[in-house]
Structures are given as C-alpha cells and as structure tokens.
Amino acid sequence: MQSSIDLTRLPRSVRLGRDADGRAELTYLDERLLPGEECFCSTGSWRCIVDAIKTLAVRGAPAIGAAGAAAVALWAVNEGARGAVLHGCSEAGESFLGALGPVAAEISAARPTAVNLMWATARMESLAKRLVAEGAAPGEVADSLFDEVLRIEREDEKVNRAIGAAGAALVPEHARILTHCNAGSLATVFFGTALGVVYAAAEQDKVERVFADETRPVGQGARLTSWELSRAGVPVTVICDNMAASLMGKGMVDFVVVGADRITANGDVANKIGTYGVAVLAHHHSIPFYVAAPASTFDVSLPDGSAIPIEERDPSEVLPQPIDGVDVYNPAFDVTPAELISGIITEFGVFPPQDAAREVAARVG
C-alpha cells in the first residue's frame, strides 16, 4: 500500500536569505497566527528575531536555535561588519568581537530553558573568534557567519530525518500514537523530531492515528500539531490534556513520543509543561514513552533535571482577564525523570536515557 503522506505541504519555519540590497534577512512563519492564518514575516533586524522568539512567533527548541544563529548573522552582516569599517578601527576584528559578545548574550537569553538557543549562538561566536584569530576582516567574518546559518538549516533537516528513521523502527504496526505540545516541522527548520518519527512511520504505513494533546495554556498541540499533521495527511485527533489518562485506560494508545528542550547528563528531560504527567500515565499503563531530540538538545554540564532553569511566562497566557487577589503560576516546562523514559531517539540511534548523553557525546566528538 502506498503512503499518502505529503510533506511538501509543510512550510519551512525559518529561512535565512538576502534582500535585493544584499542585506541579510530572516523569513519565518508566525506561529502565533496558526491555524487561522499562514503568515510569513521577513526582517533584517536581529532584535525583531529576539522578540519573535520571546513571543512564540518562532518556537520549538531546534527552530529557535536556528533563528538565534540567524539573529547573530543579521547583526554581523547588517550592523557589525559595517560598524567596524565605519569606525576605521585598526583592530577591527577585536572591535567586531567586542560588539558581538553582548548581542550574542542577549539573543541567548531570549528563552532560558531550550539549550539549543545557547548552543547555536555559542557555535556562531566560536566561529567568529576563530576567524578573527586567523586574520579575517569583519566583512569576511560576517559572510562566514551567514553561511554557517545555512549550514545549520541543512543540518537540522538531515538530523531530523535521521531521528525519524531511528524512531520509526520502534513504532508498532497500526500504531495509535500520543504526543504532547508540538515537536514537528513547525518546531524545527523542517521535518520535526517527535513528529519526524511520526512522519517516517506514516510513510511506512505504520500509523493508524495520532492523538494530539491540546497542550495548555498556549495550545501548541491543538493549534500547531493538528494543523501540520492534517496538512501532511496523517490522521489526527485533538484531545484535552486531561483526557490522556482515560484514553490510555481504554487501551487506545500504543506509543508515546515527545520532543525535548534540554536533556541532562543523567537523562532527565525538560519539555513543555504537562509532559511529566503524560510520562507518569504512560508508565502506569505500560505504554512505551520515548523522547526524540538532536544532539544539540543535550546539556552535559547539568547533572540532572533539578538544575534546569525553568522559564515562567506571563500570567495572561493562563488567565487573560486578571482577577483581583488571584495569582497565576505559569511555568512553560517541566522535567521528566529518566526512569520514566523508555529511550531517547537521536540522530545517532536510540539509547537508554541514562546512557544517552554519553553515547551522543562520544559520537559528536
């Protein structure tokens, strides 16, 4: 039987390019408007990208990593290189790096939990330092940073497809899959991590249906996961977050796969708030619970999940109209302990959570 999956209907979430004047610009899909409106925005301002990341116009750990790297390139091409030349600085390279540092720091701080953002900006800053040390002029460094973003974009899709292939082998025939939040093509440059597993399995005709948790309070499952799965031709049903237990109790879920925003040395995983609860439910019902994430999501500097910084967002996401005397607690993420995870799916294969960081680090070098 031939698969009816059509991934060509999925948009690329971010794409770096140049305008008619040669200035760098990033085009991104404003995910705040989905599913009602598919709107692409283009900007040459790195500050606009920081705002887009903060306000969830661009979201998903790999996607904000690519956008963060692009923000560095926008600054370098459109401001940094030109500024060093205009000032006529004899030490132009060092001047360029001195200005780059605060910019990279501000970009990295746009969202604190997803380590891919810090990984991407550190990669860009490291490249700039190496090139300056080799004697490159600011303009040459800026062009190289631009090219590095294009490399990150290509790598992202390649890595996601490898994750999908590794994860699809785990998916049973006629699988009914549950996922939480959106770790799909919309959360990456293209293809997705957790939904990359779904797409690869669907192409093998192994997916009967996907149940997408609504994912309160912003509804990434209801608005985004359902939208992209339906666009690609994967059968999908949206459920409220508090329906997952009932669904599992009725034997209607065979496999759970989610994404990640940070994975620590011991295999604990930070992901969208509510993931921990799904993992507990899956464990109780003896349903496999997998995490899909690239190497860039691992943070071996943290021993376990208790050290992960958890972003707290605006109360209006939970309670649009404030009520006098009522406080709102709105953490964007929670931490799932390694012992609740069946395995972590990476571009290098599937590993037990307690071994994943070590195995990935050995392959990254």
- Answer yes or no: 261 catalytic: yes
- Sheet containing 14-18, strands listed edge to edge, beginning at the edge strand earlier in sequence: 14-18, 24-29, 40-43
Residue 315 Ramachandran class (φ > 0 left, ψ -120 to 50 alpha, else beta): alpha
CB neighbour list of residue 305: distance below 8 Å, 6 or more residues apart: 264, 266, 268, 269, 270, 335, 336, 337
> E strands, the chain, where?
14-18, 24-29, 40-43, 175-179, 207-213, 236-239, 255-258, 262-264, 269-272, 289-292, 298-299, 333-336, 343-346, 349-351
- Given a contact cutoff of 8 angstroms between Cβ atoms, the answer to whether 275 and 258 are in contact is yes
Give the whole-angstrom CA distance, residue 225 versus residue 214: 9
Ordered alpha helix ranges (H), 238-352: 244-249, 275-284
- In the chain, % helix, strand, coil (3-state, to 5) comes to 50, 15, 35
Paired sense of beta strands 207-213 and 236-239, if any? parallel
> Among 156, 254, 261, 334, which one carries the catalytic annotation?
261
Q: CA–CA distance from 75 to each of 46, 50, 102, 213 (Å)? A: 6, 12, 11, 38
Residue matched to tokens 């779904």:
198
DSSP states along 161-198: HHHHHHHHTTSPTTEEEEE-S--BGGGSSSSBSHHHHH
What is the chain's length? 365
Give the whole-angstrom CA distance, residue 72 versus residue 80: 10
Paired tokens of 251: 């034997």
Q: Which residues are catalytic?
A: 261
